[in-house]
Chains A and B, each alone.
Chain A
């Protein structure tokens, strides 16, 4: 194993341990170690990327982790094209977020704790993408969940933050419930949990069935759907999306790194990694597509009316992740990973931009108190604009290329769900532009709506904050240039590079169709921008009028379709009630009744029997005589 590969995850691990144990003593200097280690990891990741580019794929075991019977799992690394891309995404965004946090978290209680958790997260995420087997993936999967839990609940004295962290962990566990059963099924089918032999023999599973509860399921479908459960949890897709908006309780750099750019994309990574298994089941693929499409529209409509700036961006993340799901569902994995890549930059930029605004606003997050910030925060303004243009799919920027690739692939797919996904995707492209520019206009344009005190403190953030913004802006513009499609004169390096892992889906779209599709999606984006301009700049009274005209729709969207309320009412509360019933009735009144009843019964009988022994000689004589007589009669009459 080349040592630079070992450094990639284990440097952040070392930094986590050291910073957690000694950080308190290092005070405000404790950020140096995490920053340096993540930068070294970045350098090593770039080296790994170039090694892969030259065709050096590494797949090596470090040591045997568990062996029991026929199960043998190692800790080992697989560095191929997919891993290389993920390594770059994780280490680069993580580096920028580390640096940004120096400014953002300055003077916060638990500064060292924050940086050590960031390192823990980076380590976990890197282990997740580096693993050469499912169990190590699962290790990383759960460990990023832990880091996310710790960071969401960073301000743990706030009940809402502690609740949100717990919710994230538990909802993810529900997904993992399916995931781990999927792992078992993979093991029972292939006799191993290592990627290479599984994917090489994936065809084995075809035509087999899996029996549970007396029912028979198609084995590949069962396997893919169970694995998908895990992906739904981590990537916050319906019906397990509820944790992500609440996760915004965490500090903003965390939202950018974990809840936008990296961890939440792990589900997409999982599906892409397991593409040989998903390919075996068209049903599972269709399910992925439909869930993606539904989540995409669902989240985008909610984002239209939210007023907390981070929540808007959070719902936008749900919606963009759903694009990636749609891509995977139609078999366009490399398009999905492409969007993962570009999204990492423009979404991290949006979040960090929000962070910069929140700093300036003294932790005010309601868009109602903002407005006109353009004048005070020029760098944040420009970079936020770039990110917003990118997510809206304006040609030339990163988001355009990846989104367009997904829509084209969806349209080209042979299945009906593909066309459905294309339709929804195009519609949501319009909505995306609308809600993104709504946010943008409400924050930066118009008049300032906050208090005079807030206004007096408005200023641009320090360079440690703005430099990461500028660097991310470069990514938000240029990240798409790796995958310029043929019709725009590019040669789609991206999909060729990932081809060996993710396959080359056959696409037969004519030049005309493809350019038509592209025009439609560009029009959708531009239309959204124009509508946002009309509604929030030209006619600023219009949104309130609309809300008043359609109060039900507005309330439905504002309350996020009442999904949380539904879960609490029909899932959480019944289980709690069940728990009380078990505790107060079954345990204390049924089982304990028997447990305490038997000795009590014996005690009562003994009290009765004791009366026989009253110490009176005549009674004893009577008993003796009577018994003797009885025995006498019994012996002779028998």
Chain B
């Protein structure tokens, strides 16, 4: 490649964000506009990936390789495949929407906020592009800092508790992973290149140790049950933009980590740990769903619903077959869109009412009908109604898990009932029932807000009606991944063998 597209994606927002330093802090309008333009340009830069991507190969594309610390064989190595490309596109979009939703919500330290947001975007891009485990680790940790600041400075009243919790939780996990990375370096031929590492074979005992070391980092990030308790606090205290990025992209990194590192590098441990991972996922689905019924705080409810939805995603991934993994990846994108959209909506209504208590709402459909329409659509996507994107992901995940483990699909499918229950109940308490005095006379969505939500609507139907446009990116890469996990045996044969049973 003549143009280092991926490096540009990583560093353009960082440089752009830092350039805001040059602007006078009083010119908030200019700062907002600059941030928006930078984010839009970033999205523009990511578009060529979509069109130039070669769907017929599992090899890394748009690769860049530069020696960084030759003594330790650490390289600045970037590249993407069918598993990571969609996350890059999603990150670009979600950042733009986060800026739009922060337009008026953030009035304090505007400059610093947008700088943090831009740096965050760059680091997230780095996580999804890195092919060197060490480099990955740098981005993985670096991303925590702006997120920490966003929640800690612009968050709600209990923000300090939430940030410290978030930080410690993820740091403990990450440090264990770091130990794992160093161990891998010594056993995997003194390299951090993940493709090299995947070619090596490791003893089962070592694989198991490394599996749990990586699990510590990834499971916290997903978050899987029982290390999920940072999420509700972080979500409730974060400003709208923080919640959106957290839900849409940040927690996807954990599941991405399983796919990119655990599975290809540690195939034996992955297969051996399949059932425990499925069980943890099922607990998350049911636990996260049922606990939503007891929530009285809008954001907390959606946060717990994320735990449930992420349970579906890990269930799909650890189905270890085509439908499960493709469904899992697609559902990560879907969850990013739908839950991202729900948090955008909550941000918009919070700006008007300044309350997150569900009991303070009621009858909003009468005062804000357009908003009610958007929220209804997002609710339906969240409960997986066919023709929305949520259905495609859930269906593939459940199908994949049914093929291998019918009992897992049985328990997971209860999540569909519980999901409908808590989401519709939430919808009823906010939008239906007699009009609550607190929401009387609230202004309807303005043009900026409608423009923020519209892309999500388009994506929901696009993916719901034509999922092949995204699934086709994954086919080859997922087949390759399955080859790696199942020790070279053709993935299709595996599926066929299970089918024949």
Contacts and interface: CB of A to CB of B under 8 A. Distances in A.
Interface of A: 20, 63-71, 135, 138-139, 142-143, 146, 149, 153, 156-157, 159, 161-163, 166, 169-170, 173-174, 176-177, 180-181, 184-185, 187-188, 191, 210-213, 575-576, 578-580, 582-584, 586-587, 591-592, 595, 599
Interface residues of B, number: 63
Given A139-B386, A139-B387, A166-B424, A157 B417 contact: no
A174 B406 CA distance: 18
Contacts of A213: 407
Nearest to A70: B495
A166 B413 CA distance: 19
A312 to B, nearest CB: 27
Nearest to B366: A157
Interface string B166-181: 0011000000000000
Nearest to A595: B229
A58 to B, nearest CB: 22
Nearest to A138: B386
Interface string B367-383: 00000010000001000
Interface in B377-396: 380, 385-387, 391-392, 395-396
A592 B294 contact: no
A149 B432 CA distance: 12
A170 B402 contact: no
Contact of B434 (A66, A139, A159, A584): A159
B121 interface: no
B435 A157 contact: yes
A190 to B, nearest CB: 10
B229 A69 contact: no
A184 B399 contact: yes
A303 B392 CA distance: 41
Q: For A180, A210, A578, A599, which residue has the most chain B Cβ atoms within 10 angstroms?
A: A180
A71 B492 CA distance: 11
Interface stretch (B4-12, B47-55, B285-293, B332-340): B285-293
Contacts of B293: 575-576, 579
B398 A162 contact: no
Contact of A181 (B402, B465, B492): B402
A578 B292 CA distance: 11
Contact of B417 (A63, A142, A170, A587): A170
A583 B173 CA distance: 24
Contacts of A143: 385-387
A579 B428 contact: no
B291 A177 contact: no
Given A69-B492, A70-B492, A579-B293, A188 B499 contact: yes
B242 to A, nearest CB: 21
Given A69-B323, A142-B386, A157-B363, A177 B407 contact: no
A68 B471 contact: yes
Contacts of B466: 63, 65
Given A143-B386, A181-B410, A173 B416 contact: yes
A168 to B, nearest CB: 10
Contacts of A63: 466
A184 B417 contact: no
5 contacts: A65-B467, A68-B475, A71-B396, A143-B385, A595-B169
Given A71-B399, A157-B434, A212 B406 contact: yes
A69 B417 contact: no
Given A177-B413, A177-B416, A184-B403, 10 more contacts: A69-B491, A70-B499, A157-B432, A162-B433, A169-B424, A170-B420, A177-B417, A180-B416, A184-B399, A583-B294
A71 B321 CA distance: 12
A583 B295 contact: yes
A170 B424 contact: yes
A219 B10 CA distance: 53
A66 B471 contact: yes
Given A70-B492, A156-B432, A582-B291, A176 B416 contact: yes
B326 A68 contact: yes
Contacts of B387: 139, 143
A149 B428 CA distance: 11
Interface in B389-448: 391-392, 395-396, 398-399, 402-403, 406-407, 409-410, 413-414, 416-417, 420-421, 424-425, 428, 431-435
What are the 7 tightest A-B residue pairs by CB atom distance, in nearest-first order?
A69-B322, A162-B432, A139-B386, A583-B294, A579-B293, A156-B432, A184-B402
Nearest to B429: A162
A575 B290 contact: yes
Q: For B323, B373, B399, which residue has the most chain A Cβ atoms within 10 angstroms?
A: B399
A157 B291 contact: no
B468 interface: yes
Given A66-B467, A66-B468, A143-B385, A184 B409 contact: yes
A184 B321 CA distance: 15
B433 A188 contact: no
Contacts of A181: 402, 406, 409-410, 413
A365 to B, nearest CB: 21
A174 B417 CA distance: 6
A531 to B, nearest CB: 43
Contact of B323 (A20, A68, A210): A68
A591 to B, nearest CB: 5
B165 interface: yes
Contacts of B416: 173, 176-177, 180
Contacts of A187: 399
B386 A591 contact: no
Contacts of A135: 386, 395
Contacts of B417: 170, 173-174, 177
B451 to A, nearest CB: 16
A188 B400 CA distance: 10
Contacts of A576: 293-294
A174 B416 CA distance: 8
B433 A157 contact: yes
Given A68-B396, A180-B398, A599 B492 contact: no
B106 to A, nearest CB: 30
Contacts of A188: 402-403, 499
Contacts of B295: 583
Contacts of A180: 395, 398, 413, 416
B407 A70 contact: no
B226 interface: yes
Contacts of B434: 157, 159
Contacts of A161: 432
Contact of A587 (B291, B322, B424, B496): B291
A580 B294 contact: yes
Given A138-B386, A142-B386, A162-B433, A68 B322 contact: yes
A576 B410 CA distance: 21
B98 to A, nearest CB: 27
B303 to A, nearest CB: 12
Given A68-B396, A139-B387, A166-B424, A156 B365 contact: yes
B289 to A, nearest CB: 9
A487 B148 CA distance: 83
B385 A582 contact: no
Given A69-B322, A143-B385, A163-B428, A587 B492 contact: no
Given A69-B321, A142-B385, A159 B226 contact: no
B291 A579 contact: yes
Q: For A69, A162, A580, which residue has the most chain B Cβ atoms within 10 angstroms?
A: A69
Contact of B226 (A68, A185, A591): A591
B294 A582 contact: yes
A578 B434 CA distance: 29
A162 B392 CA distance: 28
A166 B391 CA distance: 19
A173 B394 CA distance: 14
Contacts of A177: 413-414, 416-417
Nearest to A166: B424
Nearest to A137: B386
Contacts of B421: 170, 173
